[in-house]
Structure 1
Amino acid sequence: MITLYGARDGALVRLAETIPHPDAVWIDLCDPTAEEEDAVERMIGVEVPTRQEMAEIEESSRLYREDGALVVTATMMEGVGEGRPSRTQATFVLSERHLVTVRYGDPLPFRAFEAKWARQPEARPSSDLVFVALIDAIVERAADVLEYVAADLNAVSMHLFVESGPRKAKEAETDLQEILMRLGRRNMMVSILRESLLSLTRLVPFVRQNAEEWLSQEAPARLKQLERDLRSLSAYEGQLSAEIVYLQEATLGLINLAQNRVIKVLSIAAVLFLPPTLVGTIYGMNFAYMPELDWPYAYPVALAAMVVSGVASFYWFKSKGWL
């Protein structure tokens, strides 16, 4: 699908979907067909990367110049609101007159960008300012997701170390397993964000250095600010990654403690029954000459020996602090 945007009285408005269009500033290709790609390529004179080319990870395939335009690819996150985060690529073809975006997903910054521009319009919508505003929206979304992850990790920490009272072993183990799955989902989100921030950290200085001859007056300063924001977000992401690892290890440790408590109870129970079992085993042997067999009170004495040995073992364990 092709969506065209142009400048009208300082505002960014949608235009009729006709290629070429003389007023088009931003051309958004969402899951484009081959015919749509060909039409855009004829209009701007630059080859649009295919989906396979966008997925390549080497830097030379993600950041390059072609026929006076800059072609840069960023990794983005989508599906956070639906609870199914995934990565998607977005390519920006930036020239002095046009900005072309190619994407095969629908991340939130693109969906909300038109409304955001209406709230904070630029004095003169141009290709580079639209590009800067789009990257800024992507960075803001990454920051929002990191804040969401941080709040969730704080809730997990409170639940693990402050709010958890005495619970049944089965209930505690189930709760900890759910927390472990929750941390795994947060780790997946942070991993995608790490990849996204890394791609943006490379993309922004590449554009600032290679398009300085035709960038708007305010664009370089805003790109530098985006670089600073990306550095701070990358550092914050590293802190969250370390916290996730710590909470995962702590959760696994608590699961092991819960399981060890069960094993400890079973082990002690087995040891408590060992002396009575020994007594019963001795007097259950089928020897012809066992003097105790002729005693009139042999049976109750054997039972008493079993009980005394079990009770003595119990109090001995208790005196050692093992119970």
Structure 2
Amino acid sequence: MIQVFCIEDDHLRQVDLHPGEPLPANALWIDLLHPSAEEEKTVEAWAGAPIPTNEDMVEIEESSRFYMEEGVQYLTAPLMHAVDKEHRAIAPVSFVLSGKLLVTVRYSDPKAFGLYVSRATKPGNGLLDPKCSGMTVVLGIIEAATDRLADILEGVTEEIDTASRTIFNRRGKERPMSTKEFRRILTRIGGQGTFLSKVRESLSGISRLLAYVTVTMKADDARKEMRTWIKSLERDAHSLENYIDFLSNKITFLLDTIVGLITVEQSAIIKIFSVVAVVFMPPTLVASIYGMNFNIMPELNQPWGYPMALFLMVVSALLPLLYFRRKGWL
């Protein structure tokens, strides 16, 4: 799918182009979503530059993600998408800058794009001006992606706090956590840790893109407000990375706590079996002695022999219990 956006005063306007029509002179941004081979050829003719394929975009080397070819600048950054679904994935998005024209190539639908379009198409948005270039759109999309990541981290924080309350705030609940509860909370915490690693990867790619743009920015694009904007985005990305470190440490603490609680519960169960075994040892000894059936065992012929054996077994079982309780082992 091809979407073409033209600059009009201080906002973008989407235009519908039919095959074979020329690109408008005020076109600023061409967005390619899941492009077909024919659509790629059309955009390549409009931009005068080759469009990177999906295989090119997934390369992780920095030289494959940030480079310039025949005056055309190629930037690729991994952005979060489908965060409201179960798999929560990231996918690369390429920005191709040919003069003032920007071409974005993506095989996913990050919510940041929709947020930026809804804002940039409104007059008086404060993002664009008639003299802006495609780099302005790039920074606007990166800003929207960073804001989106901040919102996502707020949700992760809430999930971690909920898990923390489940673990520590068990007032009035004498019953320990069951195996099912342990498994559920471990899965929840581990899932958030995996999700944080994806967010960190996306932020790392954004930071690398901003650093590359700062170094390679042309003199005519080096306006003070744009450089200030880039520095602000770099600070935001850095602060989010620090916050991810904080959340990762918190997740590690909660995982260690859960493992410690599981160990405590296992020790308590083993202790119960040990006490039961020790309590039944003396009665078993008494019963074994009087079950040997030797010929000369006077107690066997006495009417009080059987009650005495039962009494000895009960007393021999109670004495270890009283001793354990006195020692504080129960």
- The alignment's TM-score, normalised by the length of structure 1, stands at 0.93
| Structure 1 residue corresponding to 2:183, chosen from 177, 180, 196 | 177
* Matching residue's letter, 1:168: R
The percent identity for this pair of structures is: 39
Asked if 2 retains the 8 angstrom alpha-carbon contact of 1:70 and 1:207, the reply is no
Residues 281-300 of structure 1: pairs in structure 2 closer than 5 A: 281-300=288-307
- Equivalent residue of 2:219, what SS? coil
CA distance in 1, matches of 2:12, 2:42: 22
Shift of 1:63: 1.0
CA distance in 2, matches of 1:272, 1:116: 75
**Counterparts of 1:163 and 1:21 in 2: how far apart (Å)?**
65
1:189 matched to 2:195? The reply is yes
d(CA) in 2 for partners of 1:111, 1:306: 79
Contact 1:173 1:258 in 2 (8 A): no
Superposed displacement of residue 166, structure 1? 2.4
Matched, 1:162 2:169: yes
Equivalent-residue separation in structure 1 for 2:80 and 2:287 (angstroms): 68
Q: Residue 95 in 1 paired to residue 98 in 2?
A: yes
The offset of 1:163, in angstroms, is 4.2
Which stretch has the larger CA shift, 6-15 or 258-267?
A: 258-267
- Aligned-residue Cα RMSD (Å) equals 1.9
Per-residue deviation, residues 238-297 of structure 1 (Å, max 9, x unmatched):
111111111111112112222322222222122212211221122222444434323332
Candidates 32, 39, 42, aligned match of 2:42? 39
SS of 1:91 mapped into structure 2: strand
1:150-195 CA distance string (max 9 Å, x none): 23222322332234542434x5443232211111111111100111
Amino acid at match of 2:6: G
Q: 1:199 aligns to what? A: 205
Q: Corresponding residue for 1:112?
A: 115
Structure 2 counterpart of 1:11: 11
Query: What residue identity is the alignment partner of 2:161?
Result: N
Change (3 A) 1:316 1:55: same
Match of 1:243 in 2: 250
In structure 1, what is the Cα distance between the partners aligned to 2:205 and 2:147? 15
Map residues 136-155 of structure 1 onto 2, 5 A cutoff: 136-155=143-162
Cα distance in 2 for partners of 1:216, 1:123 equals 16
Match of 2:51 in 1: 48
Matched residues in 1 for 2:307 and 2:106: separation?
Answer: 86
DSSP 3-state at the match of 1:166: coil
